[in-house]
Structure 1
Amino acid sequence: MQRRTFHGALCASVLVHAGLARADDRWPGKPVKVVLSQPAGSGPDTVVRLLGDGLAKTLGQAFVIENRPGGQNVIGAQAVARAPADGYTLYFATAAALVTNSYLFKTLPYDPLKDFAPVSFVADSPFGIFVRADSPIASMQDLVARSQREPGKLSIANEGPRTFGGMIARLINARSKAQANLVAYSSVGVALQDIMGGHADAVVADLASSSQFARQGRLRLLAVTTAQRVAGWEQVPTVAEYLPGVELSGWMAMVAPAGTPTSVVTRLNAEISKLLGDPALRERILAVGPIASAGGSPKDLETFLHEEHRRLGKIAGEIGLLPE
């Protein structure tokens, strides 16, 4: 009886796994939903729509972008973490959702490392330090020197101490021993308008939302926050060239709910890599601000995420960022 029961269970298990394998082979057999924690029209929104259009053409199914902003990315991330792991719900994540939130909240309704299956790195999203085009501040050296000479008078606008822009501003203050006045704004758009209106001295903002003003000659880009100089802005130095170790950049990656079939993850990774290897698509993404990154396996992304957690943990300690 026990042998017959085991044999029956084994046959059932084989049939189930065979059925799953056939389902994986047919993926995608229906439209795929891609959740994004940012609003329509944002930099990440533009990038994921370009990517979604390309995937739809190569895979023969619609990739439907669902914007679920709010809650500092928690709403969108939690929705995907709880979604079926069948390959039909994906998450176009940013550094905030998968790394930074761990150092901002005492508790999260999702685990950034355990609840998602890494699929593919997509793009870096550099930040920059901007001043008005007619500002007497011509470099990072000028900015730091002035803030040291006149403590508390030079103002650096950002989106708040618990955002990427705010963390960068605090790290610059900490590393340079400067005493700039860090002014929090409700959004980067409001901060940029205040800079151009002469109500603040500098602003930390992502290139995706602000580079257009520099190209129009309304702002001057003093430095970028990536480890290397940014494509398209090669004449602009990095902050790290003046303050070694100050490297903090946003990024975007595609992940899926943990447990998503490996065959689906592998195929999706391959298709995204092909798309990001297309110079035309890379140029369209660069025009928005982010820098597309072709190649890299799901394992590479997993390693990167663990390294980012280690690095951000050190930075959070240095600038006194405490979870709430």
Structure 2
Amino acid sequence: MKRTTRAALAAAALVLAAAPALAQNYPNRPIRLIVPFPAAGATDLFARTLGQKMSEKLGGTLVVDNKPGAGGAIGSDLAAKAPPDGYTLLLATTSTHAIGPAITPKLPYDTVRDFAPIAHVGDAPSIMLVPVNSPAKTVREWIDHAKKNPGKLNYASSGNGTIVQLTAELFKAQAGVFVTHIPYRGTALAVPDLISGKVDVLFDSLPTGMPHVRDGRLRALGVTSLKRSPLAPELPAIADTLPGFESTTWFGFYGPKGLSPDIVARVNKAANEALADPEVKDKLARLGIEPANAGTPEQFAKMVAVDAAKWKKIVVDRKITND
């Protein structure tokens, strides 16, 4: 019995001693970075931009692997079930780890139990767009206009259960207005109706919305980040009118649960260093993404928990589904 116990303790010690050694040699083969959305989309382009610089910092290669479907759930599930050896990472978003669990309770993964948080790497705010012939030139004026016309105004979204819809519902809840939802299959299809005045408001991304504003086809009233965005400094924050209002799409790295803390630290450090690179910052700005201060994995996990609770409340209170 004593010999068995000593052997077990010795084996455990060897495993513990081997973990730092494995981390020191990491990476010694390509790292699979799962992007749970289609190629050429914002998340994919972000992954490729950041991944290239992180490869330099890590001394290895991050290979983007697009696994779209089910609102990001297919790729996220693959990452959750991968071996926790550091050679499969996930670029998650608000959709996969904050909104997804609220909209789809029967996800094949648990966003807390099945993942190791690594780093918060970016945020993409949206802008509040209205037709140029709208009587409102400010957020306050639009709220007043909506209150004077309850049920007569509408808003467009990129579909049921999307962050575009949830952003509008968060706005409605905080502003105390009643506005009808008109879902589209993507904001690109909604923009012509917004320009023509068939739709009264749309919360769209900066890269797709601002060109219409600068060409005089639409009017932007505010940005959805808590403060003015450096990507569109001329726009006030909606939070200036509705204190605390915030809706951004965040991006973050995860690994499967059980990932070595040493590997987590290595990837986190590489992400921080890559985000500080001026070339990366410039490329991300063109995508409408503000580089995040990656911080610690613990800070990232706390941020996601707060964000998930906020969206769950909106989903429940406003009875939102993805049907």
Q: Deviations over 1:218-239 (max 9, x none)?
A: 3322111111111132221222
* Residue number in structure 1 paired with 2:108: 109
* 8 Å Cα contact 1:168-1:204 kept in structure 2: yes
Matched, 1:222 2:215: no
* Residue number in structure 2 paired with 1:60: 59
Change in CA separation of 1:40 and 1:212 when aligned onto 2, cut-off 3 Å: farther
Q: Deviations over 1:9-36 (max 9, x none)?
A: 3333333443333222110110001111
* Residue number in structure 1 paired with 2:235: 236
Which range is displaced more, 280-289 or 77-86?
280-289
Flag structure 2 segments of 5+ consecutive residues without an equivalent.
Answer: none
* Residue number in structure 2 paired with 1:20: 19
Superposed counterparts of 1:105-254, under 5 Å = 105-133=104-132, 135-254=134-253
2: CA distance between counterparts of 1:66 and 1:122?
18
Which range is displaced more, 108-117 or 307-316?
307-316
Tell me the C-alpha RMSD between the 2 structures: 2.2
Name the count of aligned residue pairs.
Answer: 323
> Aligned-pair distance for 1:49?
0.7
Matched, 1:95 2:94: yes
Which range is displaced more, 80-89 or 17-26?
17-26
* Residue number in structure 1 paired with 2:46: 47
2: CA distance between counterparts of 1:320 and 1:113?
24
1: CA distance between counterparts of 2:43 and 2:2?
56
SS at match of 2:29: coil
Percent identity of equivalent pairs: 29
Matched, 1:310 2:309: yes
Which range is displaced more, 14-23 or 238-247?
14-23
2: CA distance between counterparts of 1:46 and 1:4?
56
> Aligned-pair distance for 1:181?
2.3
* 8 Å Cα contact 1:43-1:209 kept in structure 2: no
> Aligned-pair distance for 1:245?
3.2
Q: Deviations over 1:24-63 (max 9, x none)?
A: 2110110001111221121121111111100122223221
2: CA distance between counterparts of 1:43 and 1:36?
11
> Aligned-pair distance for 1:195?
2.2
* 8 Å Cα contact 1:103-1:321 kept in structure 2: no
Change in CA separation of 1:49 and 1:212 when aligned onto 2, cut-off 3 Å: farther
TM-score, length basis structure 2: 0.92
* 8 Å Cα contact 1:132-1:202 kept in structure 2: yes
Give, as a single letter, the amino acid of the residue that structure 1 aligns with 2:36. Answer: S
Superposed counterparts of 1:288-303, under 5 Å = 288-303=287-302
Change in CA separation of 1:203 and 1:254 when aligned onto 2, cut-off 3 Å: same
Matched, 1:85 2:123: no
Give, as a single letter, the amino acid of the residue that structure 1 aligns with 2:22. Answer: A
TM-score, length basis structure 1: 0.91
2: CA distance between counterparts of 1:210 and 1:129?
9
* 8 Å Cα contact 2:57-2:274 kept in structure 1: no
Give, as a single letter, the amino acid of the residue that structure 1 aligns with 2:13. Answer: V
Give, as a single letter, the amino acid of the residue that structure 2 aligns with 1:226. Answer: S
